[in-house]
Structure formats: structure tokens, C-alpha cells
Amino acid sequence: MPQLDKLTYFSQFFWLCLLLFSFYILLFNNNNGILGISRILKLQNQLLSRRGEGGEIQSKDPKNLEDISRKGFSK
């Protein structure tokens, strides 16, 4: 049976992984792909860097946090 041939396991596994990864990128990232993921990670890092020592975001500059979130979620 060709489905159980040990020589074809790697190529079948490779194409299956490639297909599923491409499907995931196209559907679950709102057509932004890897750029959408990196944008969200960048926003998260910026917001976490602005946290106060008590674990909460400092309220001294709320306009700046609002601008960061607008930049992060805009296309």
C-alpha cells in the first residue's frame, strides 16, 4: 500500500504541516498574516514597558497609552 510506505512519510508530513500553517495564517489572523501578530506583540511590549512598579499602568499619561493602543489596532 502506498499510504504506508515509510519513504513517503516525511514528504507527506511536510506538505500537511505547510498546508495547515498557511491555512492558519490566512484565516485566523484577519488577513494580516505574520505582520498582524508582530503588531500585537509590539503593542503588548509597549504597554508592559509603561507599567508602574505596583503592577498597574501609571495614570500620569493616559493620552499616550491611548495613542499607543490606537496605533497598535489601526491598519
**Domains in the chain, number:** 1
pLDDT per position as a tens digit, 46-71: 777 776 545 555 556 656 666 777 77
Going by C-beta distance under 8 Å and a sequence separation of 6 or more, which residues neighbour residue 29? 36, 37
Q: Is the pLDDT of residue 9 over 90?
A: no
Contact 36, 29 (CB under 8 A): yes
Q: Is the pLDDT of residue 14 over 80?
A: yes
Query: So what's the pLDDT on residue 56?
Result: 55
Is this structure's pTM higher than 0.85? no
Q: Which domain holds residue 30?
A: 2-73
